[in-house]
Amino acid sequence: MQSDALCFTHDSNMGSMIVTDDQMTIISISDSFKTDIGETNELLLKPLNTLCTSDKHFFTQEALFELQRSGMWQGTIEHYYNNSEKTSLQVTAYAVRNSLNEIEFYTLFLNHTDKRLLHTTQIDSLTKLPNRTYLLDVLEKRLSSAKQERGFTSLLFIEFDDLARFNETFGFDIDDQLIVQLSEKLKSLLGADDVLARVGNEQFAIVSQNFESEESTEIFAKRIISMLYEPFFVDPNMFYISASIGISLSSADERDAYRLLKTAENTMRRVQKDGKNHIAFTQYKAQSSLQKSMHLMEDLPAAIENGEIYFVYQGQYDHERERFSGAELLARWRHPKYGEVSPGLFIPLAEQSGMIGPLTIKAIIEASKMFAKLEEANIKDFSLSVNISPAVLMASDFIETVQFLRHNYDLVGKKLNFEITEETLTQNIDNLVQLLEQIREMGIGIEVDDYGTGYTSLQYLANLPIDILKIDRSFVSGIDRDLKKRGLFQAIVNMSHALDIDVIAEGVETALEDAIIKKFNFITVQGYFYCKPKESNNLLEKLKDNNENTACVWTLLRA
């Protein structure tokens, strides 16, 4: 009987294989079964417990629960064959789910306990996950499957950073306990048919054919990084863990599983040099994507000049004053051939090509135009925030350029803020303090974006001239359901207020999230729940309709 369950590869030298349906009725037995176990195909279409002694059924309630929960179970059973001879069998079982995430089959591997066991050759003993050998077998099957013909296979290679360092302080096996926790967390993110394996000491790999594009694969990888923003606990200690992720996307004609795995691993090694919690795609991907990136990089200078790159504004709502108090400028690119190009694609290209400087100047000039419109509309006490790349911030002529723009584009006295990433704070700290102080002397506020995603210590926050912390959306998403997130959010707010730093919560998308955040004092919120990014005239209309930017009305928020 042909089934998806048989996609699990099996070496007859490793033992016997059995496939059952979701009711534990045997539907397939490997050829090696008679030799190893002493049974024949007469067992087909019979319940699995015919293999077991009458007083020791294989699937106890506890075993079945674990198999259905985690997708895998291991144990030992005693079996009598030929009505007299007794043998112990090591069983490794997998639950195989369909596209609706329903269990459709169970696949079992059986071995005599005095033989080389499957779990020593294909299963990691610590996490009980498949190992590198098993992953390569599965990957080879996936690359040759019909589904691969219609799309591609994504392989994510993940390495967690130096877990063994915790052992010196907290105990010899802390890294093992963290690895087990990480494996459970990763399993919770998987979709139907995804395969997770432990392929090295601190390394995991995920194989998926469920993603439709590079962008959806990247979103999944970012979910893994977001998972690490929350601490892990090995009582009574709390640990923060970081990782690097390399991603390979196979082309339709790729059949080399080993090459796909190694390219993802090499990409992970390359991105490790960029810092912690980074994601990178290997150059081993569809040629069309590479050509598109090259074309975009070539078109970027003209796009900045001719208006293809434009700006939208996302409003920031102040709970205390019950009105919008500012907005963040966000760059967009409407390309004549490719349509709307994701900022996640063209901003890195601008940084790589050196065009991020002209793009930043264009953004600051755009802010000056918006301030003029706000003044004409009699909308007062309103701030605008411009993102500043580390490459731009650290440029030798940055201060001189900002001074020129302030005086020549009527920005003196305006509530202009520069947003820098948390990671920037850890770079060249001595020069950074002086640089940020020069910016503040010009009357420009300093915002730290995506706070909580990096490794900024309290010392950095206490010593640097910072006006606003923007709490990353990973601490906001689901805060109405997650008490740990709520506690971490509270801790960041308390710390910020103690340092006289204002707080903006990013990524507020639901009424429940907003209701929780509203309970904290002196919080400004930014997100789709209050305001989607809008072009300047659209935002102005909404602000004017709001009676000079005072009481919030739902028609403003939901348009």
| Residues 391 and 527 occupy one common structural domain | yes
Last residue of a domain, one of 91, 121, 151: 121
Query: Between helices 287-306 and 343-353, what is the axis angle to 10°?
Result: 80
Tally of domains within the chain: 3
| Residues 150 and 278 occupy one common structural domain | yes
Do the domain assignments include residue 127?
Answer: no
CA separation for the pair 535, 309 (Å, rounded):
12
Residue 485 Ramachandran class (φ > 0 left, ψ -120 to 50 alpha, else beta): alpha
What is the domain range of residue 272?
132-285
- Please name every residue paired with 523 in a beta bridge, in sequence order, or none if there are none: 503
CA 177 to chain CA centroid, nearest Å:
22
| Residues 317 and 438 occupy one common structural domain | yes
CA separation for the pair 267, 221 (Å, rounded):
14
CA separation for the pair 354, 300 (Å, rounded):
10
| Residues 369 and 269 occupy one common structural domain | no
Backbone angles phi and psi of 399, in degrees to 5? -60, -45
Can you count the helices (H) and strands (E) in the chain?
20, 21
Tokens of 520: 């904290």
CA separation for the pair 239, 458 (Å, rounded):
17
Do the domain assignments include residue 335?
Answer: no
Sequence-ordered list of residues with C-beta below 8 angstroms from that of 24, at least 6 positions apart, any chain: 47, 48, 49, 59, 106
**CATH assignment at residue 435:** 3.20.20.450
Q: Rounded to 5 degrees, what angle do the CA atoms 69, 75, 76 make? A: 155
**pLDDT attached to residue 536:** 92
pLDDT (tens place) for every residue of the chain, 559 residues total: 333 322 223 333 345 667 777 777 777 776 555 444 444 444 444 555 555 443 434 456 666 777 777 777 776 665 544 444 455 566 777 777 766 677 877 777 766 544 333 444 578 889 989 888 888 888 887 787 644 555 678 999 999 987 888 887 787 788 899 999 999 999 988 886 789 999 998 999 999 988 877 888 888 999 999 888 888 888 778 888 899 999 998 865 566 788 889 889 989 988 887 778 889 988 544 445 556 777 888 899 999 989 899 999 999 999 888 889 999 999 999 999 888 888 878 888 888 888 999 999 999 999 999 999 999 999 989 999 999 998 899 888 999 999 999 999 999 999 999 999 877 776 666 788 889 999 999 999 999 988 876 655 676 778 889 999 999 888 888 888 888 888 889 988 999 999 999 999 998 988 999 999 998 888 999 998 888 899 999 899 878 776 454 544 333 334 4
pTM of the model: 0.52
Rg (CA), the chain: 28
Count CB neighbours of 554 within 10 A: 7
Last residue of a domain, one of 98, 121, 144: 121
| Residues 54 and 171 occupy one common structural domain | no
| Residues 270 and 396 occupy one common structural domain | no
| Residues 237 and 206 occupy one common structural domain | yes
Calculate the CA dihedral of residues 228, 234, 235, 238 and round it to 10 degrees. Answer: -40
Do the domain assignments include residue 446?
Answer: yes
CA separation for the pair 349, 345 (Å, rounded):
7
| Residues 543 and 515 occupy one common structural domain | yes
Q: Are 206 and 190 in contact (CB under 8 A)?
A: yes
Do the domain assignments include residue 336?
Answer: no
Sequence-ordered list of residues with C-beta below 8 angstroms from that of 338, at least 6 positions apart, any chain: 292, 296
Do the domain assignments include residue 492?
Answer: yes
Tell me whether residue 454 is exposed, middle or buried, using C-beta atoms within 10 angstroms of its C-beta: 0 to 12, 13 to 18, 19 or more. buried
| Residues 491 and 519 occupy one common structural domain | yes
**CATH assignment at residue 20:** 3.30.450.20
Q: Are 267 and 251 in contact (CB under 8 A)?
A: no
| Residues 141 and 164 occupy one common structural domain | yes
**pLDDT attached to residue 405:** 95
CA separation for the pair 402, 90 (Å, rounded):
70
**pLDDT attached to residue 134:** 84
**CATH assignment at residue 229:** 3.30.70.270
Long-range contacts of 402-410 (CB under 8 A, 24+ apart): 402/364, 402/439, 402/442, 402/444, 403/442, 405/361, 405/364, 405/365, 405/368, 406/442, 409/364, 409/365, 409/368, 410/368, 410/371, 410/372
For the chain, the straight-line distance linking the first and the last C-alpha, in angstroms and rounded, comes to 55
b/e per residue, 90-117, with b = 16+ CB within 10 A?
Answer: bbbbbbbbeeeeeeebbbbbbbbeeeeb
Do the domain assignments include residue 477?
Answer: yes
Last residue of a domain, one of 65, 88, 121: 121
Do the domain assignments include residue 297?
Answer: no
| Residues 423 and 551 occupy one common structural domain | yes
Do the domain assignments include residue 404?
Answer: yes
CA separation for the pair 415, 444 (Å, rounded):
7
| Residues 152 and 9 occupy one common structural domain | no
Residue 496 Ramachandran class (φ > 0 left, ψ -120 to 50 alpha, else beta): alpha
CA separation for the pair 278, 243 (Å, rounded):
7
